[in-house]
Amino acid sequence: MTTGPGDFTERAGDQAYHVRPYRPPVNLLWWLRRRTYLFFVLRELSCLAVAWAVLFLMLLVRAVSEGGDVYAHFVTWARMPWIVVLNVVAFAFLMLHAITWFNLTPAATVVRLRGQRVPPAVIAGSAYAGWVVVSALVAWIVLRQ
């Protein structure tokens, strides 16, 4: 019997015996093994949509500040098919981020009122309500005449 790394010797009284534990390797595609793992990785990758949104917003801000023509040029650029597709995908991932974030918020925030724990659904509900309010506010500010 050959020895290898990770083997060790145990003693029981006078008897010594060799233990060779088997360590299964972790596949690089471990996250494809389960639907929940895949969902987790997609959720984490939504951070790329967040980074893209920041970049896009900065391009927008620069276009707006430079005035009419530059802004029109920006809108034309943003209308290009591959930019639209990119933004559709980014929007989907941003929604994934927001929904998973608000659903998981109750796990970290435990609030006790008068000795009772506030139900997780109330915490998540408040987060969603805040989301609606902020979105409505932003839309109103941007779109009002």
Partner 1 sequence: MTDTIALQVTRYRPDRETEPTVEEFAVPLHNDWAVLDGLNHIKDNMDGTLSYRWSCRMGICGSCGMMVNGEPKLTCASFLTDYGRGPVRVEPLAGFPVIRDLVVDISDFLRKLPKVKPWIVREDEEPVGAGEYLQTPAQMDAYRQFSMCINCMLCYSACPVYALDPDFVGPAAIALAQRYNLDSRDQGAEVRLDLLIHPEGIWGCTFVGECTRACPKGVDPAGAIQRYKLTAALHSVKSLLLPRGAR
Partner 2 sequence: MAERTKQSGRTTEPILWLLFSAGGVAAALFLPILIFIFGLAVPLGWVAPGSNHLQGVLANPLTLLVLFGLCVLSLFHWAQRFRYTLIDGLKLKGYQRLINMGCYTVAVIGSLTVAVVLWLAR
Query: In whole angstroms, what is the distance from residue 45 CA to residue 40 CA?
Result: 9
3-state secondary structure of 79: coil
Given partner 1, partner 2, none, residue 18, with its beta carbon under 5 to 8 Å by kind, binds partner 1
Q: How far is the CB of 114 from partner 1 (least distance, A)?
A: 10
Judged by CB under 8 A, the stretch of 3-11, 15-23, 75-83, 110-118 that binds partner 2 is 75-83
Query: In whole angstroms, what is the distance from residue 99 CA to residue 127 CA?
Result: 10
The residue from 6, 18, 34, 58 that contacts partner 2 (CB under 8 A) is: 58
Residue ranges in 79-116 assigned as alpha helix (H): 81-108
Residue 122 contacts partner 2 per CB under 8 A:
no
Query: In whole angstroms, what is the distance from residue 66 CA to residue 127 CA?
Result: 36
Given partner 1, partner 2, none, residue 89, with its beta carbon under 5 to 8 Å by kind, binds none
Q: Report residue 2 as tokens.
A: 């050959």
Judged by CB under 8 A, the stretch of 50-58, 64-72, 85-93, 101-109 that binds partner 1 is 101-109
Query: In whole angstroms, what is the distance from residue 48 CA to residue 97 CA?
Result: 11
Query: In whole angstroms, what is the distance from residue 46 CA to residue 52 CA?
Result: 10
Q: Which residues bind partner 2 (CB under 8 A)?
A: 26, 28, 31, 41, 44-51, 53-54, 56-58, 60-62, 64-65, 67-68, 71-72, 75, 78-79, 83-84, 87-88, 90-91, 94-95, 97-98, 101-102, 108, 130-131, 134-135, 138-139, 141-145
